[in-house]
Amino acid sequence: MKLALAQINPTVGDLTANAVKIISLLDEAREEEVDLVIFPELAITGYPPEDLLLKPQFIKDNLQALDLVVKKSRGIAAYVGFVDQKKGRLYNAGAFIVDGKIKTIYHKMNLPNYGVFDEKRYFHKGRQPSVVSYQGLKIGLGICEDIWVETGPHRAEVKKGAKLIININASPYHVGKVAERQKLLSGRAKKSQAYLAYVNMVGGQDELVFDGGSMLFDPRGKLAVSCDQYREEMLIVDLENDRMKTAWMEEELEIYSALVLGTRDYVLKNGFSEVVIGLSGGIDSALTLAIAVDALGKDKVHAVYMPSQYSAEQSRQDAEKVARNLGVELSVIPINDVTAAYLDKLNPNFKGRAADVTEENLQARVRGNYLMALSNKFNWLVLATGNKSEMSTGYCTLYGDMAGGYAVLKDVPKTAVYQLVKWRNRSGEIIPQSVIDRPPTAELKPDQTDQDTLPPYDVLDRIMAAYVEENKSVKEIVRLGLAEETVRQVIRLIDRSEYKRRQAAPGPRITARAFGKDWRLPITNRYHA
Amino acid sequence: MKLALAQINPTVGDLTANAVKIISLLDEAREEEVDLVIFPELAITGYPPEDLLLKPQFIKDNLQALDLVVKKSRGIAAYVGFVDQKKGRLYNAGAFIVDGKIKTIYHKMNLPNYGVFDEKRYFHKGRQPSVVSYQGLKIGLGICEDIWVETGPHRAEVKKGAKLIININASPYHVGKVAERQKLLSGRAKKSQAYLAYVNMVGGQDELVFDGGSMLFDPRGKLAVSCDQYREEMLIVDLENDRMKTAWMEEELEIYSALVLGTRDYVLKNGFSEVVIGLSGGIDSALTLAIAVDALGKDKVHAVYMPSQYSAEQSRQDAEKVARNLGVELSVIPINDVTAAYLDKLNPNFKGRAADVTEENLQARVRGNYLMALSNKFNWLVLATGNKSEMSTGYCTLYGDMAGGYAVLKDVPKTAVYQLVKWRNRSGEIIPQSVIDRPPTAELKPDQTDQDTLPPYDVLDRIMAAYVEENKSVKEIVRLGLAEETVRQVIRLIDRSEYKRRQAAPGPRITARAFGKDWRLPITNRYHA
């Protein structure tokens, strides 16, 4: 049997366009004499449709879009994810379509409701494993989480003679996920003594990045072929003619590509084509610029350097060098005059009080306002440049450097920023060594460095990972060999910055737990242990 | 039997303080010879603890706090909400404690996972209804959602002879909820031919406001007594000696009180004592100021009037009058110079382009920056003043008038703003008639009014309610008698403003669906029907 793994990038809510994309791949596959084309989970609606699912009209329109696909499937078979409705109940469903007719519909039996997933908010559980016979082959159907559960439908389906299991997915990327998937799937195929076709979605959707990497395993559990990550692909494979798997990406390329795809899709799917970035001369904004250029092309990216009295000459030179290396035009807008004008007017209120964080934040907010003004005037989306270490500890200014529509490095710890910059420079210096070597500084007061306020980033990032990704307590983190005082300091900072994060822009998720859908902490909260 | 309905206001995460509060009420009740004190759902942790529940240490600490309560319950009985853990699984639980020992633990059987609720993210379902015998009376236990489900545990418990059902709650307020509760509970009591004690939490927690209003019904379904709304109260009642129910609040008082409590608790529980508000001379900021003064006292509230070249003299007079009437000192900080300084520096970039929304937003952002500077300098929380009609249509400026820690009117439609102002003026003009009579304007360009851009607010609010609260489609809303063009315009505005709402401050929820936990729409979304 000739299969096509159709790893597509649908857009949430764009029902007709998603159906048209599916249909055009069916046409292409028919030309290639493919027997069965497999599309991702909820390919019709995009994933996750979230509260669009509460709109009755949306459900109807999704069924109509599926109908369009069914009608255009003459002479071929397909397995397509959509939202089914029976007796007023919604199901995360897969339609097995043969030659212009729905042969069977499978309802997802295992609904994830943890991490970034809220499926129990919308869907009812399916009750029936499903085996369909097609061209003499028994095929077991499943959707995403189903294959992760040992007692999932595949077990019953194999008992009923299934020799091919197809599992369709909208599986978001995080570091290490590819290896997890491959290990699990290989085991399932082997145990089942059946082929296992795993088709994933690709594309960015708000904070989630679906990385693709669809795979076919043989009945011994060997990975036969796989799609690339981060791009649409229809991989055609003959079950009897396995090919060898090519290598997966190295970690830095994988992370970097997730950031690029997340950024590109957020910008383009939201109807923008150009972006603007505040370049400070520091490493975060330099990396953000590189990612933006790789996502959108240098002509679509605008950079602004906004110096104050505290900006070092080195910062300007570095900002200019980064922009030049990436081929991006750089504007310069100094912020001193405006900042002084604010403070002048605030004088009667401040009555000679000493300068403090107020004056620092004000500078960041003047910069934020300039970026937003450029955004408003030219319809450029502002990309915020803060990293995860800052976002966690609140070492960032609300409406200042946090201003923007998308925060590219929001889930990238500072230590990973360095790692990615090194990697991006692998075939020639794009981000100058001086940017990498200078101690990080916000340049909001004289001789400031981040480490005046924060512990060294390697320590901070270890504490952050333990606290944020692993829910460890102070005591447990201390037991990892970290100083209790430092642990308490970082956790206090993380806890009390919740109000800032709640007003932050979304950004692409690359770790096992980002400050997004999978981080739901109360703002009002007195627990700090 | 002598019951006490202990309608308390716990703070999320403040485990020890919550336990101490419970213990002090037990002491008080013992003095009054009360037999059984009933506390709200998750009284130990506060509600909702959200992802604190994913921290193993939090669960342990909550069990310790319960243990403290148990030890201090000599000579009395109590039913207390807490988080139970069995074999690694979490349960939303109630401990029935008698004389220093836990007599039985009930696990909530019906877990809400819709609207603002995410209980299936954390908890497993309980499997057992529970009847406990105490002083010769059989008592059926339940928690919140359990009583809303017709086949809930109360049914089995009544069959087993329960003559008193106790149901503990963290039931958030919205308009009309009190009547819904009373109707349902009355029916359940009558059907059960048992007393029904319904104890609710009180207090604000981020966007949720728990309004209290705990109730006792007799076995004929008659409401015997009830607690006040919006304040802590321990109501002692003898089952054999029912008293008459006093009247519920009128709607305006009820909504207004929700806004006051939500604001007070957000400010105080987050460690602030003072707030600052930008007074524009318009009705929204005037109402916000009144609510803040009623929540915190006039000495804790600071107002700033920030005129531009477009501000009418009337606006200044009205702002001054409102501040004077409420006894709040008013600062004046003009924004023209700073705005001009920004535009001067932007000149080379803007290259003579015509003024547009950029210049309007800039003014709003200058005001936002002033408020944030005052916030930073004096540790005043900024209260944002935008209403729900603006928040839905995006008629507001990100980092401008949207800047702030708490958005008091975020869930109050403009038409309700007028209603509340009229009500607040009932015993003397606080908000001048001229504020009420002037056509709403953002005063960001000459002779601007909201209705240059938006349909009349009564029309907008009807469309908004149908679309946001009822998930109706364009077609269905048109069928309500509204012009299709207007409906499409409003819905387009609502859909494309999602990115703004995602970065908005929280605010108290008063409708059946607020732009908060119960509104989870994707930003990237091409569905608009």
Chain A closest-CA separation from residue B262 CA (Å): 12
Cα separation, A199 vs A212, in Å, equals 8
Across the beta sheet with B2-7, the strand order is: B101-107, B89-98, B77-86, B36-38, B2-7, B233-238
B369 to chain A: which residues are within 8 Å by CB? 342, 362, 365-366, 369, 399
Residue B247 CB: number of other CB atoms within 10 A?
A: 6
The residues of A that are catalytic are 41, 108, 144
Angle formed by the axes of helices B283-296 and B251-269, to 10°?
Answer: 70
Residue A31 CB: number of other CB atoms within 10 A?
A: 8
A56 to chain B: which residues are within 8 Å by CB? 471, 473
pLDDT tens for A11-23 read 999 999 999 999 9
Cα separation, B525 vs B510, in Å, equals 27
Among chain A residues, the shortest Cα distance to B516 is held by A502
Among chain B residues, the shortest Cα distance to A359 is held by B373
Choose, out of A145, A369, A382, A478, the residue to mutate when testing the contact with B (most B CBs < 10 Å).
A369
Indicate yes or no: CB of B113 within 8 angstroms of CB of A113: yes
In the predicted structure, residue A468 carries a pLDDT above the cut 70: yes
- Domain residue spans of chain A: 2-248, 255-502
Are B267 and B295 a contacting pair, CB within 8 Å?
Answer: yes
pLDDT tens digits for chain B (529 residues)? Answer: 999 999 999 999 999 999 999 999 999 999 999 999 999 999 999 999 999 999 999 999 999 999 999 999 999 999 999 999 999 999 999 999 999 999 999 999 999 999 999 999 999 999 999 999 999 999 999 999 999 999 999 999 999 999 999 999 999 999 999 999 999 999 999 999 999 999 999 999 999 999 999 999 999 999 999 999 999 999 999 988 766 667 899 999 999 999 999 999 999 999 999 999 999 999 999 999 999 999 999 999 999 999 999 999 999 999 999 999 999 999 999 999 999 999 999 999 998 899 999 999 999 999 999 999 999 999 999 999 999 999 999 999 999 999 999 999 999 999 999 999 999 999 999 999 999 999 999 999 998 999 988 999 999 999 999 999 999 999 999 999 999 999 999 999 999 999 999 999 999 999 999 999 999 999 999 999 8
Among chain A residues, the shortest Cα distance to B340 is held by A338
A301 DSSP β-pair partners:
A275
Angle formed by the axes of helices B56-71 and B15-31, to 10°?
Answer: 20
Cα separation, B78 vs B66, in Å, equals 11
B374 → closest Cβ in A14, A205, A349 = A349
Q: Copy the structure tokens of residue B325.
A: 């009437």
Distance of CA A149 to the CA centre of its chain: 24
The ipTM assigned to this model is 0.95
A145 DSSP β-pair partners:
none
pLDDT tens for A270-326 read 999 999 999 999 999 999 999 999 999 999 999 999 999 999 999 999 999 999 999
Chain A closest-CA separation from residue B331 CA (Å): 8
B205 to chain A: which residues are within 8 Å by CB? 522, 524
Q: Copy the structure tokens of residue B131.
A: 């009847």
Residue A377 CB: number of other CB atoms within 10 A?
A: 21
pLDDT in the model for residue A241: 77
In the predicted structure, residue A244 carries a pLDDT above the cut 70: no
For residue A199, give every residue at least 6 positions away whose Cβ sits within 8 Å of its Cβ, in sequence order, or none.
A5, A6, A7, A38, A39, A40, A166, A167, A168, A169, A214
Cα separation, A77 vs A37, in Å, equals 6
B52 to chain A: which residues are within 8 Å by CB? 521-522, 525, 527
Among chain A residues, the shortest Cα distance to B115 is held by A121
Are B404 and B284 a contacting pair, CB within 8 Å?
Answer: no
Cα separation, A148 vs A133, in Å, equals 24
Among chain B residues, the shortest Cα distance to A55 is held by B471
Indicate yes or no: CB of B338 within 8 angstroms of CB of A350: no
Are A182 and A147 a contacting pair, CB within 8 Å?
Answer: no
Indicate yes or no: CB of B368 within 8 angstroms of CB of A56: no
Going from the C-alpha of B80 to that of each of B63, B70, B94, B106, the distances in angstroms are 12, 10, 5, 10
Going from the C-alpha of A110 to that of each of A116, A129, A150, A390, B51, the distances in angstroms are 15, 11, 11, 37, 22
Average pLDDT of span A367-376: 98
SS3 letters across A262-328: HHHHHHHHCCCCCEEEEECCCHHHHHHHHHHHHHHCHHHEEEEECCCCCCCHHHHHHHHHHHHHHCC
pLDDT tens for A96-137 read 999 999 999 999 999 999 999 999 999 999 999 999 999 999
pLDDT in the model for residue B242: 65
Distance of CA B335 to the CA centre of its chain: 34
Phi, psi torsion values for A168, nearest 5 degrees? -105, 145
Report which residue type is found at B98.
V
Among chain A residues, the shortest Cα distance to B403 is held by A399
Choose, out of A15, A305, A357, A523, the residue to mutate when testing the contact with B (most B CBs < 10 Å).
A523
What CATH number does domain B2-241 carry, 3.60.110.10, 3.30.1120.10, 3.30.420.40, 3.40.640.10?
3.60.110.10
SS3 letters across B222-270: CEEEECCECCCEEEEEECCCCCCCCCCCCHHHHHHHHHHHHHHHHHHHC
B227 is catalytic: no
B120 to chain A: which residues are within 8 Å by CB? 113, 120
Are A1 and B515 a contacting pair, CB within 8 Å?
Answer: no
A525 to chain B: which residues are within 8 Å by CB? 12-13, 52
pLDDT in the model for residue A352: 84
Mean pLDDT of chain A: 97
Q: DSSP letter for A468, please.
A: I
* Rg of the Cα atoms in chain A: 25
Cα separation, B502 vs B481, in Å, equals 31
Of B89, B88, B123, B95, the closest CA to residue B109 belongs to B123
Q: Which helix (H) or strand (E) holds A123?
A: none
Cα separation, B132 vs B161, in Å, equals 10
Going from the C-alpha of B470 to that of each of A55, A87, A222, B148, the distances in angstroms are 9, 20, 50, 20
Are B6 and B39 a contacting pair, CB within 8 Å?
Answer: yes
Chain B closest-CA separation from residue A502 CA (Å): 7
For residue A124, give every residue at least 6 positions away whose Cβ sits within 8 Å of its Cβ, in sequence order, or none.
A89, A90, A91, A107
A2-248: in CATH 3.60.110.10: yes
CB pairs under 8 A between A and B: 240
Site of tokens 């000679």: A352
Cα separation, B56 vs B121, in Å, equals 15
Going from the C-alpha of B316 to that of each of B279, B289, B372, the distances in angstroms are 9, 15, 21
Of B274, B334, B340, B327, the closest CA to residue B304 belongs to B334
B380 to chain A: which residues are within 8 Å by CB? none
Nearest 5°: CA angle at A490, between A487 and A495? 120
Chain A closest-CA separation from residue B333 CA (Å): 7
CATH class of A255-502: alpha beta
pLDDT in the model for residue B173: 98
A524 → closest Cβ in B17, B205, B346 = B205
pLDDT in the model for residue A245: 65
Site of tokens 């609207």: B115
B125 to chain A: which residues are within 8 Å by CB? none
Chain A closest-CA separation from residue B410 CA (Å): 14
Cα separation, A468 vs B211, in Å, equals 33
A51 → closest Cβ in B346, B356, B521 = B521
Half-sphere exposure of B195 (CA within 13 A, CB side): 21
Domains B2-241 and B255-502 share a fold: no
Indicate yes or no: CB of B342 within 8 angstroms of CB of A14: no
Choose, out of B496, B524, B528, the residue to mutate when testing the contact with A (most A CBs < 10 Å).
B524
Residue B193 CB: number of other CB atoms within 10 A?
A: 12
SS3 letters across B17-29: HHHHHHHHHHHHH
Q: Which long-range contacts (CB under 8 A, 24 or more apart) does A247-251 make?
A: A248/A178, A248/A213, A251/A175
Cα separation, A442 vs A161, in Å, equals 63
Indicate yes or no: CB of A522 within 8 angstroms of CB of B205: yes
Among chain B residues, the shortest Cα distance to A345 is held by B333
* Catalytic residue of the set B72, B108, B163, B321: B108
Provide the whole-model pTM: 0.96
A521 to chain B: which residues are within 8 Å by CB? 50-52
Helix (H, G, I), strand (E, B) or coil at A332: strand
